């Protein structure tokens, strides 16, 4: 018997979790980030040193994206 764990995502999630929660595809996420989503509202570009580079990770506000 397999164990099933149900998690409630945090407000800000990684791209992997955003895909799992919303069903969006990676290309759709990139296009929306470039064309329609606003940094600080739908996504945050983050970096440990406070200066995000083009390849730095983004986290996404899945609640705002679903709205």
Report which of residues 62 and 6 the model is more confident about: 62
The total domain count for the chain is 1
* Per-residue pLDDT tens digits for 9-61: 789 999 999 999 899 999 999 999 999 999 999 999 998 888 888 888 999 99
pTM for the whole structure: 0.81
Phi/psi at 3 (5° precision):
-90, 130
**Do the domain assignments include residue 3?**
no
Instruction: For residue 41, count other CB atoms closer than 10 A to its CB.
Output: 11
Q: What is the pLDDT of residue 23?
A: 93
Q: Domain range for residue 46?
A: 12-66
| Gap between the Cα atoms of 50 and 41, Å rounded | 18
Domain annotation covers residue 4: no
DSSP-assigned states of every residue in 19-65: HHHH---HHHHHHHHHHT--BTTTEEE--TTS---TTS-EEEEHHHH
Find the CATH number of the domain harbouring 57.
Answer: 1.10.1660.60
């Amino acid at each position: 018997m397999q164990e099933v764990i149900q998690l409630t995502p945090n407000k800000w999630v990684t791209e992997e979790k955003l895909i799992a929660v919303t069903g969006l595809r990676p290309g759709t996420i990139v296009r929306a980030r470039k064309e329609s989503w606003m940094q600080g509202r739908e996504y945050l570009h983050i970096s440990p040193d406070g200066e995000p580079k083009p390849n730095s990770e983004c986290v996404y506000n899945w609640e705002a994206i679903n709205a």
